[in-house]
Chains A and B, each alone.
Chain A
Amino acid sequence: MSYEIIGITVLWTFLYGYIIIASIDFGAGFFNFYSKVTGTDNIISPIIGRYLNPVWEVTNVFFVFFFVGIVGFYPDTAYYYGTALLIPASIALILLSIRGSYYAFNSYNKESKMSWAFLYGVTGLLIPASLSVALVISEGGYIIQDDSGIQLNLEELLFSTYSWSVVFLAIITVLYVSSAFLTFYANRARAKEATELTRRWFLIWTLPMLVITQFVFLGLRDHNYEHFTNAQNVWYLFGLSLLFMGIAVYLVWRRINYGLAFIMIMMQYGFAFFGYGISKMPYILYPYVEINTSVVNDAMALALTVVFVLGLFMLIPSLGLLLRLFLFDKDYVQGKDNSKY
């Protein structure tokens, strides 16, 4: 396999991983805040905390991994995205920083503060929206290149149906994925009330989820017809994605096997995300950055691939240990572990 394919597959997979675990993380922060406002926080907040506390740092690394990787494998992206995204990416960074730090401030402070819960809850919803701008501009048409260099066409971005549909997709994804995960986790914790609460949140968000995906396709048709036709060629991937969503919703609706339901949701996103990615090829940023022409020199590509494989040997067992201790350890999940911190 050539380096450009290896590179993009690795990066796309990591981005996929980030979308799933960050959605859980961001959504959990929002639901934590929401439950404080509605007075149900004694039901759900301890469960959210028990899950989030040991893993919050790891979520962030997935993101760092992605952007370091993409600049490494395709240095041109640093130039194009770097220049175009100065303002949008700075906004995303500020939101990420507020969220990341106030999560820690709130969790490790003597008592939780409403305003801090607000900061990290609400920024959690805005971060995916602001990060999705990078995916939106990858479709082309939002960047102007002339003699002075690159500029982002902000007006085009703000008044485009496609960009807004992606933004809403990002927000709804967060709420949809995290409520599904929390249903599973609460159920494992044998917290009946919490399970019912999160199950209801999940079911509420399924309808907007269906609607927004249609809008994204319509927006893409208007914005980048070439990509839209490519997407139609892999229609079966999107079909499978819809099928998995159906199974997930059915399982949660009937209250059977929330774990399987969450795996179905991961499949739903997996197929849609890779379907989108495959149909995008060969462009990373239409039409400026192509994977074939912008890939890093061979020596570096080889070194990166070797490091990546070695890194995985180290990461996978460590991640496995983390999950075993905090996600699959019954006593911990049910709050019976009396480790004091």
Chain B
Amino acid sequence: MDDVILGRVLTATTLGFHIIFATIGVGMPIVFMVLEFLGIRKKDTDYLTMARRIAKGYTVTVAVGVVTGTIIGLQLSLIWPDFMRLGGQIIALPLFMETFAFFFEAIFLGIFLYTWDRFKNPWHHWLLNIPIVIGSSLSAVFITTVNSFMNTPAGFDMVDGELINIDPLAAMFNPSTWVRVFHVVATAYTTAIFLIASIGAFKLLRSKFNEDREYHKKGLKVMMVVGLIAASMTALAGDLSAKFLHEHQPEKLAALEWHFETEDNADLILFGMLDEENQEVKYELRIPSFLSFLAGSSFDTEVTGLNDIPEDEHPPLVIHYFFDIMVFFGFYALGISILYFIAKFTRLDEHHPALLYAYVLTGPLTMAAIEAGWFLAEMGRQPWILRGYMRVSEAVTNADGLGVTLVAFVILYALLGFTCSYVLLRMFKGKSAQQDRFDLYGERYKGGQL
């Protein structure tokens, strides 16, 4: 394989592995912030125990997130040295700010985890959640501005291969920043929330600890409430993204919708298979004129087709499948949380096993949607590393050894992924949540009340 492919596969592997933990890292603080709030507010030790158990598991995922984040931070320079030499003139600021945000989070997470019983007033401990949520969400914000810059570069002029007239803030707040930041943060919250909902539903189906049932039902209810809010935000973010792509990255929109001819009343294509030679789509679900509507809130909107874009700037058409996965699984979570409330407020049982199985799927599927979303976003800007300015092939390192490096990192991720799952499973397997609650808060708080 040539170096460009190796470099891309290595970067994709690292990022693909990292975003699992990064998403949990950004989203999960919201979960235990809400639970601890409810626990203190309602004087209910069930919620507090839940917050503590989740925070404990979270620490393990943070460890993997931190190390894989460090890896990608350095790999940018190791695999794409020419890009960093050029881009370093501009993306240094958000990268630097990301480090500060992460620093901030790291400090307060350390304090948070080891001071549960130290404060007389429990609200003081709860306040520690705020810097953690700010720090983790801001790291997502800053790092997303870097990625946005690579998609829609702004804030400089290029003269003879040199960047001049640099405006760091204009580069950071480039055209795609807001919509992407919103999308990334909303989906991270959604995913973390539904992962916890999944675990709760799974425990209701399979847990050997009968005394935990009320505890898991409480947790599931909270997750469905916040999950419904977060999933709705995600849907909104997705809609804004489509409109944004239409304005600023038409080739990406065209590729992910297999949209070849520029036209108004463009159809939205869901699923299907593509015959690339004849530009024909088979077995698809076609919603007439809906793509135009998504792109510009009107059926008359003219949507640029791929045939009007130079062939050597076409993104790979496979991204349509990732698009399908992302949208379908994203809406699945939204639909399921709505279903939960329908069941709850009608005569149906919201804890019916069939529904529980449906809840169990939300977590893994939203995580799959995250992966698919990033694959489509990143592959959708091929062949560019800095859209319009530098191609991926011009940026790859000339050093030998990319192949060996790739193998070594794949082994590393397999090892880390396996051990991390093992530790997380063992952490909660042998002991019931009620037992944990008893150990932490004692007999006198029986029945959940503090």
A97 with B89: CB separation less than 8 A: no
Tell me which residues across on chain A come within 8 A of B106, comparing CB atoms. 57-58, 60-61
Tell me which residues across on chain B come within 8 A of A68, comparing CB atoms. 73, 92, 95-96, 98-99
B85 contacts chain A at the CB level, 8 A cutoff: yes
B121 contacts chain A at the CB level, 8 A cutoff: no
A61 with B60: CB separation less than 8 A: no
Known: A101-B416, A104-B63. A318 touches B402 (CB 8 A): no
Known: A61-B106, A337-B118. A101 touches B67 (CB 8 A): yes
Cβ < 8 Å to A, chain B residues 71-100: 71, 73-82, 84-90, 92-93, 95-100
B306 contacts chain A at the CB level, 8 A cutoff: no
Known: A90-B78, A103-B63, A318-B104. A339 touches B84 (CB 8 A): no
Of A78-86, A167-175, A239-247, the one contacting chain B is A78-86
A153 contacts chain B at the CB level, 8 A cutoff: no
Q: Per DSSP, are chain A's interface residues mostly helix, strand or loop, or mixed?
A: helix
> Bound complex: CA of A97 vs CA of B17, how far in Å?
13
| Shortest beta-carbon distance from A3 to chain B in Å | 12
**Residue among A57, A76, A318 facing the most chain B CB atoms (10 A cut-off):** A57
Cβ < 8 Å to A, chain B residues 111-125: 111, 113-118
> Bound complex: CA of A56 vs CA of B59, how far in Å?
11
> Bound complex: CA of A304 vs CA of B60, how far in Å?
32
Nearest-neighbor residue (CB-CB) of B399 within chain A: A86
Interface size class of A (residues with CB under 8 A): 35 or more
Known: A79-B81, A82-B84, A108-B59. A338 touches B93 (CB 8 A): no
Cβ < 8 Å to B, chain A residues 313-341: 314-315, 318-319, 321-322, 325-326, 337-341
Cβ < 8 Å to A, chain B residues 257-278: none
Q: List 25 A-B contacts (CB under 8 A).
A: A53-B114, A56-B110, A57-B62, A61-B102, A75-B87, A78-B85, A84-B399, A85-B78, A90-B405, A90-B408, A90-B409, A96-B67, A97-B71, A97-B416, A101-B63, A105-B63, A105-B423, A109-B426, A150-B398, A300-B168, A303-B169, A322-B107, A339-B115, A340-B117, A340-B439
B440 contacts chain A at the CB level, 8 A cutoff: yes
B420 with A303: CB separation less than 8 A: no
Chain A residues engaging chain B, CB cutoff 8 angstroms: 53-58, 60-61, 63-65, 67-69, 71-73, 75-76, 78-87, 89-90, 93-94, 96-98, 100-105, 108-110, 148-152, 296-297, 299-300, 303-304, 307-308, 311, 314-315, 318-319, 321-322, 325-326, 337-341
B166 contacts chain A at the CB level, 8 A cutoff: yes
A71 with B92: CB separation less than 8 A: yes
> Bound complex: CA of A61 vs CA of B84, how far in Å?
20
Tell me which residues across on chain A come within 8 A of B114, comparing CB atoms. 53-54, 325-326, 339, 341
| Shortest beta-carbon distance from B86 to chain A in Å | 7
> Bound complex: CA of A104 vs CA of B65, how far in Å?
12
**Residue among A85, A98, A101, A148 facing the most chain B CB atoms (10 A cut-off):** A101
**Residue among A76, A148, A303 facing the most chain B CB atoms (10 A cut-off):** A303
B401 with A108: CB separation less than 8 A: no
A339 with B116: CB separation less than 8 A: yes
Nearest-neighbor residue (CB-CB) of B116 within chain A: A339
Nearest-neighbor residue (CB-CB) of B10 within chain A: A90
